[in-house]
Structure 1
Amino acid sequence: MPLELSSEIDLEKLQSEDHNVILRCPFKQCNTRIIKYSPSFIQISVDNAPQTVKATKDELPTIERPTNFYQIDNVWDFDNIGVSRPSSISDDPIIGHDSTVKIDRLLICSECDKGPLGFAGIPTDKEHHHTNLKYFLSCNSTMYEV
C-alpha cells in the first residue's frame, strides 16, 4: 500500500469512499501501524505545542513545531504508541477540544522508540494521574497508508 503525507490526501473523500486509512511510523525502517484513522478523531490547532518529527517521503523525518493535532482520549485506541516518563516539557497549558491540558509526556513509536510524534497531557481540572491523560498525535508526524 502506498504511504502518503498528510498534505497529499483528502481524508474526508477517502472516508466517504470507505477507504481504511492507517497512520504509520514515519521512520522508513519501521513504518509500524500507530493507529487506524477515525472520523471521530478531533482535530485541533495548538500554537504552543512541543516540537515533533515531521514525516517526509524521501528523507529522514525532520523536526518541526506543529500546530495541527488529532486529540485521542483513550490510549487503547492506539495500535502502537509509546509514552515517555512524566517531565516538565512545557509550563504553558494547551487548550484542547474540551479542556485545558498540562503537557506531561511525549508520544513515540513503541516499536522503534523514535519520535516525538505528539504529546500527552492531563486536564487541569483532573487529578494528576496517568489514567487521566489525553493524547495529541501530530497530523504531520505520521505517514498515511491509503
Structure 2
Amino acid sequence: MDQDEIKRLGASLRQIDPGILSPAKEGITKVWYQGGEPYFDVVVELRHGEIEWFQFTLRGKSISWRPRFSGLQTGKTNELDTNDLTFHPATKLVEQNNQQDHQFIELAHAILKTRANEPLFKQILTLFDSA
C-alpha cells in the first residue's frame, strides 16, 4: 500500500458518538473510530484512561491487544464472507492466526502513526512499540 493510501485511511477515521454505543462494563469507557471504507475501524476500551482492550480491523484482517496477551494478536474477520446466511453486517467474528501477520501489523502501525499527535492514538502506538 502506498503512502498516500495510508494517509487517506488514517485521515478517514472518525470517532463515533459514544451515545449510540452499547453500554460498556462498569468502569470502562469505549471509544470507537470508524474509517472511510467498510469494515475499517478502531475500538478501544479504557479503564482509568489506560487501554484495557484494543482492536483494529481493516479489509477482513484484525489486530487485538489485551494486557494479559503476550503481544499483539492478528486474525481474520468474517466481515468479507457474505455467503453465510447468518451473517449480519453489525456482527464480527475474529479467528486468531496461528502466527502474527507482521505485514498487517506494519500496515496498521503506519496508518495509526498518521494520527500520532492525538493522545489516544499515541497510547495505541505504544502497544505496537512494546509488542
Identify the TM-score tier after normalising by the shorter chain: under 0.3
TM-score if structure 1 supplies the norm length? 0.23
Q: Which has the higher strand share?
A: 1
